[in-house]
């Protein structure tokens, strides 16, 4: 009885993380799309949301390596997950700040936000895939 409840709770948690990632992707897409006219499309927004959903679903809750003397080195998947999450959420935070405060940053900052988002969720996706392959 406990196992199905725990499994359901874990699925709820992962879906919630994916939704948070999709919301972050929406903010980044809205910020970048409003500054770069070629990216003002529904497809771009959906792509940013999809990347965020996949990245946060796979990358935030990665299975950890067993901790013993044989595995005392740095867990690359765990490090990539942490760095990717920080990068992706920071760019989403900056995007929300730009939107809410109605700022007009230099185009270079907008490109930096877009690149930071893609790198961050990319790191999360790679980390999640790597951690799940070692099971």
- Cβ-in-10-Å burial (0-12, 13-18, 19+) of 25 comes to buried
Q: How many domains does the chain have?
A: 1
Does residue 112 carry a pLDDT above 70? yes
What is the average pLDDT score of the chain? 91
The percent of residues in the chain predicted with pLDDT above 90, rounded, is: 72
Phi–psi pair at 84, nearest 5 degrees: -65, -40
pLDDT band at 135 (very low <50, low <70, confident <90, very high): low
What's this model's pTM, rounded to 2 decimal places?
A: 0.87
Determine the structural domain holding residue 83 and report its residue range. Answer: 2-64+73-133
Query: pLDDT for 59-77, tens place per residue?
Result: 887 777 766 656 667 788 8
Quick one: pLDDT at residue 76?
Answer: 85
Q: What is the DSSP string of 17-72?
A: HHHHHHHHHHHHHHHHHHHSGGG-SHHHHHHHHHHHHHHHHHHSSPPPPP-SGGG-
């Amino acid at each position: 009885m406990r196992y199905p409840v725990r499994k359901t709770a874990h699925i709820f948690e992962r879906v919630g993380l994916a939704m948070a990632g999709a919301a972050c992707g929406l903010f980044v897409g809205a910020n970048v799309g409003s500054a770069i006219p070629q990216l003002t499309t529904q497809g771009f927004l959906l792509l940013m949301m999809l990347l965020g959903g996949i990245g946060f679903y796979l990358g935030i809750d990665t299975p950890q390596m067993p901790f013993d003397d044989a595995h005392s080195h740095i867990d690359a998947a765990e490090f990539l997950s942490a760095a990717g999450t920080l990068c992706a959420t920071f760019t989403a935070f900056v995007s929300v700040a730009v939107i809410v405060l109605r700022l007009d940053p230099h185009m270079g900052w907008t490109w930096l936000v877009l690149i930071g988002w893609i790198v961050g969720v990319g790191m999360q996706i790679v980390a999640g895939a790597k951690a799940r392959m070692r099971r």
